[in-house]
């Protein structure tokens, strides 16, 4: 299976990532098929650049983004465009619509106290 995921290339304490398409059996920094873009979480403002055309191509070909990469693609508006083309795939990305249960439980306990 082909995945769209982050490949860390930054140094210790200064992460920098490339958004790549890779076989799921390969390691985090192992062999990859294609580089789609970059993500720099340290820069202010955070730098995120992804080739939209190639990302949609790989999504249409069946590549599955990791959860973090799905959040980033959603932020750029690439994932919504893909879901317009393939609405039946929306069920695979339900985690983008929900808040984590831990946050809501913590908020609930502080209100009752």
**Could you give the domains of the chain?**
2-112 (3.30.1320.10)
* Residue where the block lists tokens 């393939």: 86
pLDDT band at residue 18 under the 50/70/90 scheme: very high
**pLDDT exceeding 90 applies to what percent of the chain?**
36
How many residues are present in the chain?
Answer: 113
Q: Count CA within 13 A, CB hemisphere, residue 11.
A: 0
* pLDDT tens digit sequence for 48-73: 999 999 999 999 998 999 989 999 99
The reported pTM is 0.78
- Say what the pLDDT of residue 57 is: 93
Order of strands, edge to edge, in the sheet holding 64-65?
A: 47-50, 34-40, 17-23, 2-8, 64-65
**Cα–Cα dist 12/94, whole Å:** 33
Q: Are 54 and 77 in contact (CB under 8 A)?
A: no
- Say what the pLDDT of residue 103 is: 47
CA proximity to 1, closest of 51, 55, 61: 61
**pLDDT exceeding 70 applies to what percent of the chain?**
86
Mean pLDDT of the chain: 83
């Amino acid at each position: 299976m082909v995945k769209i995921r982050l490949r860390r290339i930054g140094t210790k304490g200064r992460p920098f990532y490339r958004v790549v398409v890779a076989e799921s059996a390969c390691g985090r920094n192992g062999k990859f098929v294609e580089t789609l873009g970059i993500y720099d979480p340290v820069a202010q403002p955070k730098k995120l650049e992804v080739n939209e055309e190639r990302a949609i191509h790989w999504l249409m070909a069946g590549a599955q983004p990791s959860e973090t990469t799905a959040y980033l693609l959603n932020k750029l508006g690439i994932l919504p465009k893909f879901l317009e083309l393939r609405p039946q795939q929306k069920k695979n990305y339900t985690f983008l619509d929900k808040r984590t249960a831990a946050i809501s439980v913590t908020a609930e306990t502080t209100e009752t106290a």
